[in-house]
Amino acid sequence: MRYPEVRRDETVETIHGEAIADPYRWLEDGDSDETAAFVAAQNAFAQPVLADLPAREAFRGRTTALLQAPTRGCPWIRGGRAFAWHSDGQNQPVLVTADSVDGLEEGRVLLDPNALSADGTVAVTAASVSPDGAILVYGVADGGSDWRTLKVRDVVTGADLADEIPWTKWNAPVWLPGDRSFTYWRYDAPTGAALTDEMGAGRLMAHTIGEAVEDDAVLFSRPEEPRLFARHWPRDDEWFVLSTDTGASSGNDLAARRHGEPESALRQLAEGHDVERNAIGVHDGALYVVTDEGAPRYRLDAFDLATGARATVVSEHHEDVLLDASITASGLVLEYSHDASHRAQLATFDGTLGDALPLGEGVSITGLETSARSDVVLASTTSFVDRGTRHVLEVDGARLVAHRTLPTPGPAAPAATTTRIRATSSDGAEVPAFLVQPEGVDHGAPRPTLIWAYGGFNIPMNPEFRAVTAAWVGAGGTLVVPNLRGGGEFGSDWHKGGTKERKQQVFDDLYAIAEHLVATGVTTHEQLALHGRSNGGLLAGAALTQRPELWAAVLPGVGVLDMLRFHRFTIGWAWTSDYGDPDDADAHAYLRAYSPLHNVAERPYPPTLITTGDHDDRVVPAHSFKFAAELQRAQAAAGGEAPILLSIDTRAGHGMGKPKDAAALEFADQLAFAAAHTGLEVERVPEA
């Protein structure tokens, strides 16, 4: 294939005594005319190839149907009003409100993000309703950016107020006593390239409705520690609780003071960024905290906020992982992970365990809403074969009183059977995976199979309904979702076992699963595709460069692919908690050893489709640009005949708030590419 000509220059940087060539560094300037020409040339090369794929239109129809099927988010209640995100096929879901959860289906639209732009690329990425149900604060992001502007809306009238706060990120607004002021995390307006420049120091602010943003109070600021984040949570009318941390999955400190007291009154409750402390609520002067301190599967502790004394409320489970907990008027709701699926159990405030909540088997809890003033628990669940179920539960302490589900309109998910498989990794550890096989096809012989994987940042891969994977299963393909080291399925030891110098273990876990699938006849190497996004894109890139013979096709999406410079853009430095710091000599050595960009060799590679968005200000698109350019060069030099494609969405970011029509096209390209190279024949879905 004649790939687009891409200029290589002589840029070489000596890092820790090693000369590192970086001939495509100029592609890091996303605003240059030359980079724009590169984007245009790559898209002009890739799009005709993708448009010619036999299954593209069939998958576009399937993903469009799945994305446009009605969805209903987990409801929540504030001040006697019910709220929920609903979608009936729009590009962006709408926020509806009603007097009760049963009235939401006919509820009033409070906020319609689709009205904010003609093409659906302006999204609402944060929303918080005041405890009295009167005021909505929402964050608006353009073109998939993480940057957002906070706006304020009157819930009763539906009219926006004058308040508008630019240059915010990360924290959702948290309300302060009185319900007319809230906290948020803000940065100075960028002076350079807003979508690529490394983030400076932020600060925790408090805004009062109706007052000038310039007069907002600074609640926490450490300009001398620009890599420190702060969050006010949980909300309590007496106590201000502050959590500080330094990275995407590192531990955190906890401190508290009474509202109205100065910052100097903050009492340190716990410190040390090697321990996670997720504060979940305050009851009777005690702060309840889920922690992995001395408990890799986590336990629930309580801090006396007046004295700082600490006690264990719920001990570490011998097998399951305590993911989260929440407070009702009369007790606790505990969320556990059991073999990478979720369950929930009630408990009293002193930790006595009670009834299990009947949320189903083999599911993920995608939302769980409680209030310290109510004994109603609202939950939503999903699985590979369930688009979503909403639960309304009444509790009395540790006892379940009543349970019902709310109807969800729309079609059922594609029929499939989910089982667990396990493979032995390079260090002898057992690595499990979900095997999702479509019904109505012959599984007596190997079939086209797609692995969807992540393996990082303590993020679990649980049973979850995704349009991109459901479309593959619905078309007759087999889906495999591994639980690799680095993820959060089995506690903090499992997570840390795939971080920093142990990151190679994540890749080895993946190879063990792939080889097990072939050895057991589920698939063959000629029928096996790999897809991953973000950190999963790194996984796909490393698997491509380390073990190209394993794959029939590889699809790295918005991937972290330059492991020596990821920390120099936007929020990339926060990922050193999982990856290590490239500026450290020891970390440089192991990062260099697996960095996809730096391990491309002149050898034939399998078919590869790299995707990114030119507005991605989390994993900047230069990662994908540089990797694709080098991979195309190496493939051509080796005489490799398989296509190496780079497809760039020019009005998209990391994926947050992406319009459904754009998502459907991206998924169709990826799935059709995988189908073409694994031999999956796809029938078109009949028109409705």
Q: What confidence score (pLDDT) does residue 688 get? A: 44
Residue 234, preceding bond cis, omega within 30 degrees? Answer: yes
The residue ranges of DSSP E strands in 384-521, in sequence order, are: 386-396, 399-406, 416-424, 430-438, 449-452, 478-482
Summarize the confidence of residues 81-103 as an average pLDDT. 95
Kindly name the residue from 588, 654, 669, 677 that is annotated as catalytic. 654
Q: Is residue 616 annotated as part of the catalytic site, yes or no?
A: yes
CATH of 19-64+412-678, one of 3.40.50.2300, 3.40.50.1820, 3.40.50.300, 3.40.50.1100: 3.40.50.1820
Write the CA distances from 126 to 147, 235, 418, integer angstroms: 11, 17, 33
| Whole-number pLDDT of residue 118 | 79
Beta-sheet pairing, 478-482 with 430-438: antiparallel
Select which of 534, 577, 624, 647 is catalytic. Answer: 534
Burial of 448 (0-12, 13-18, 19+ CB in 10 A): buried
- Delimiting residues of CATH 3.40.50.1820 domain(s) in the chain: 19-64+412-678
| Rounded-to-integer distance, Cα 238 and Cα 234, Å | 11
Which of 616, 617, 649, 669 does the annotation list as catalytic?
A: 616
Identify the pLDDT of residue 229.
87
CA-closest candidate to residue 569, choices 199, 228, 229: 199
Q: Specify the higher pLDDT residue, 192 or 126.
A: 126
**pLDDT tens track for 368-402:** 999 999 999 999 999 998 999 999 999 999 999 99
Name the one residue in this structure whose structure tokens are 């994540």: 506
What integer pLDDT is reported at residue 191 of this predicted model? 82
- 78 close to 129: Cβ distance less than 8 angstroms: yes
Reported as a single tens digit per residue, the pLDDT across 54-65 is: 999 999 999 999
User: With contact defined as beta carbons under 8 Å apart, do 463 and 434 qualify?
Assistant: yes
Q: Is residue 657 very low, low, confident or very high in pLDDT (cuts 50, 70, 90)?
A: low
Per residue in 215-265, pLDDT tens? Answer: 999 999 988 888 888 999 999 999 999 999 987 667 899 999 999 999 889
Tell me what pLDDT residue 683 has: 84
pTM over 0.85: yes
651: nearest Cα among 121, 45, 194, 116? 121
pLDDT tens, position by position, 461-512: 999 999 999 999 999 999 999 999 999 999 999 999 999 999 999 999 999 9
Three-state secondary structure call for residue 341: strand
Residue spans of beta strands (DSSP E) within 558-643: 608-613
DSSP E strand boundaries for 339-375: 341-347, 353-356, 364-369
For residues 11 and 565, give the distance between their C-alpha atoms in angstroms, rounded to a whole number: 14
Could you give the 3-state DSSP secondary structure of residue 281? strand
pLDDT category of residue 91 using cuts at 50, 70 and 90: confident
Mean pLDDT computed over every residue of the chain: 94
Active site annotation includes 654? yes
Low-confidence winner among 301-310, 325-334, 382-391, 659-668 (lowest mean pLDDT): 659-668
**Side chain identity at residue 605, one-letter code:** Y
Closest CA to 613 of 546, 535, 552, 534: 534
Q: How many CA atoms lie within 13 A of 163 on its CB side?
A: 24
pLDDT, residue 104, reads 97
Task: Calculate mean pLDDT across residues 206-217.
Answer: 96
